Structure 1
């Protein structure tokens, strides 16, 4: 006999069922150190063993293009799809982004070669222990001194010091942002508005050195996914466009170059109803004992009123435990969500409670976060749709 709904006793998801990022062997943080090690940059380790060294390396990061989304749309991305099967002298495999699967965290992992627990950008918004305020690490608001927040050198800086020609080719708007400073600076920055200009200049920068490390970036696949969803006509149009950009760059790379196409996260479309969008601002149980709500809809940092930490953890597990992995800060750290080690300065930036979505659900905050709460496509958690990103290779 079926159990009556009113007698249902929800069982929290076991934390060991969350698919952890492959830190140290196959995460975004391992990519640039592997490439730099192949160019003899001191202190770098080739963690992704199957990548063959090259004198010139280019990373093209497409914001929001997950591995599963790419594989689901072969007709819209024929060139990148061809790389999945190694038919053009390259290879294709997924990487894991690291947790959370969000832009600021992933870009810092790419540029520093460190997992979030070390570089210290462990979420979309996190508490600044010095001020007690939430800090948006993508927009860098409120402003915080970048150096102390993320003190490690980037791989580009280390490569430049080792005599490698290092360059970033991106939108001019990103040149002087704190996120660029802490995550992607080193060598020279070249701002170009159009995707075609970026591809052409990236190829030229590769040719500018006998050893080169070049990064380029395209944002609008992510933007279309957030606004319209990852199977919308607008999103598919952006995928078609960026596929042509990849081909344009691949056809121009100079000799002795390895081009790697990757992304910072995938994406999940979440239906607009109360079952799939749980509104923190209207849920008294979830709000009880909570001082600050950080992170984003699928990867929440929850900061409790002092003394209420255990009560908040118990409540969040009871309310959300069948749809979210809900961990205390200590459990999330011990399980390895943020990497194998946590720097002391990063510890209190992580929520007292950390909630990562398994199902196609969100914890929105309609009053606090009206824009984020209205997005169709979302990301942040550890599901394959969000966590897996492509690593496509073209060599010359």
Structure 2
């Protein structure tokens, strides 16, 4: 909340955080959107930018662990000894992490991974965003309410481009994900193999990697994120999942065929936010934040705020006054120009522009904008993510080669 400070004998309000001061994703050089295009380009797939410095390999497996941020991994060497031992291999030996994108959330990140595009291009710029065609909020993880996936995200995936170029391409994941809209528009191309257990996924991923001279395999594990949301990243349940996924990664690494590269990464990190009124500000009970707001989108750490017609400037002013010391608060055009949704100055696709909030707010401090009545399940989560802080934004890129 804004408060008065002194400078000499004069009282003044602290300036709100400048949206341009947010630690931006490294679009084009070191973000999740740059990983698969670089890998596929090194395998001979034409027309893709190689924005990262990664050595090419004939067979590549990408193992994405949902919710395993770089800072969380670094803080738990005892629970993840194998993954921790690979930290020096990050970013092709530099020991540095990648960035996710904004917001640092699963739907946005998986779309960036699979399409090789930033959120302002692929068009999934948040957990929930307004659908300009209907005026309703669209949940881009659960795909509710239904809309045509290929109209919502029309670009081909990197997997589809690789498959068309003759690379043996597949995804190995939980069977429930095979026919979801998010899979269709972000992670499809080649063949899908559903396996329930993590061990079966690792074994099959290694088998599929060896199936051809040029192979691109993607596999995924979700429960590190699930336990973090439910119990927090400072819980025994979360640490147990980290121990389990560490064994999975080692199991996969030990089965790599010759001329292979395994990249272990994540879609975002996570932070536990205390359950107190100062840390969790309830939009549904705050008349000041609700004034002039038609829809509240996004999630607790990264909000899209849609104003009633004519009220956008007033909503921006109020959100900056109330939250501007703790959150980067920007108008839509400010956030786009600053580079939140893609490289600074490049803009966003026309179809994506109105999906972004009139006001966009990203948490810098340990706070969350919850909505206890309209979002009861999300508001009850212990671990949260979405913003551009290092614990949420930085993700590993660990490498094993044979």
Category of TM-score, reference length = shorter chain = over 0.9
Deviation at 1:131, TM superposition (A): 0.4
Work out which of the residue numbers 378, 381, 384 in structure 1 matches 2:387. 381
- For residues 97-116 of structure 1, what are the alpha-carbon distances to aligned partners after superposition, in whole Å with 9 as ceiling and x for unaligned? 01000000000000000000
The match for 1:40 is: 44
- Secondary structure in structure 2 of the residue aligned to 1:93: coil
Q: CA RMSD in A?
A: 1.5
- Secondary structure in structure 2 of the residue aligned to 1:190: strand
Deviation at 1:93, TM superposition (A): 2.9
Deviation at 1:84, TM superposition (A): 1.2
Work out which of the residue numbers 118, 125, 136 in structure 1 matches 2:128. 125
- For residues 274-332 of structure 1, what are the alpha-carbon distances to aligned partners after superposition, in whole Å with 9 as ceiling and x for unaligned? 00000000000000000000000000000000000000000000000000000000000
Q: Note if 1:152 corresponds to 2:155.
A: yes
CA–CA distance in structure 2, aligned partners of residues 161 and 318 of structure 1: 52
Q: Note if 1:368 corresponds to 2:399.
A: no
Deviation at 1:272, TM superposition (A): 0.3
Tell me the TM-score normalised to structure 2 length.
0.96
- Structure 2 gaps, min length 5: none
Q: Note if 1:206 corresponds to 2:209.
A: yes
Q: CA 1:198–1:307 in structure 2 vs 1: closer, same or farther (change >3 Å)?
A: same
Work out which of the residue numbers 338, 344, 350 in structure 2 matches 1:335. 338
CA–CA distance in structure 1, aligned partners of residues 246 and 230 of structure 2: 20
Tell me the TM-score normalised to structure 1 length.
0.97
- Secondary structure in structure 2 of the residue aligned to 1:285: helix
Deviation at 1:232, TM superposition (A): 0.8
Deviation at 1:15, TM superposition (A): 1.5
Hey, which bits of structure 1, 4+ residues long, moved more than 6 A?
none
Q: Note if 1:28 corresponds to 2:32.
A: yes
CA–CA distance in structure 2, aligned partners of residues 86 and 262 of structure 1: 12
Q: Note if 1:354 corresponds to 2:357.
A: no
Deviation at 1:200, TM superposition (A): 0.2
Return 121-130 or 227-236, whichever deviates more.
227-236
Q: CA 1:313–1:362 in structure 2 vs 1: closer, same or farther (change >3 Å)?
A: same
- For residues 162-212 of structure 1, what are the alpha-carbon distances to aligned partners after superposition, in whole Å with 9 as ceiling and x for unaligned? 000000000000000000000000000000000000000000110111100
CA–CA distance in structure 2, aligned partners of residues 59 and 106 of structure 1: 14
Deviation at 1:11, TM superposition (A): 2.1
Q: CA 1:40–1:388 in structure 2 vs 1: closer, same or farther (change >3 Å)?
A: same
The match for 1:101 is: 104
Work out which of the residue numbers 190, 193, 203 in structure 1 matches 2:196. 193
Q: Work out whether residues 260 and 393 of structure 1, in 8 Å CA contact, stay in contact via their aligned partners in 2.
A: yes
- Structure 1 gaps, min length 5: none
The match for 1:308 is: 311
Aligned length: 392
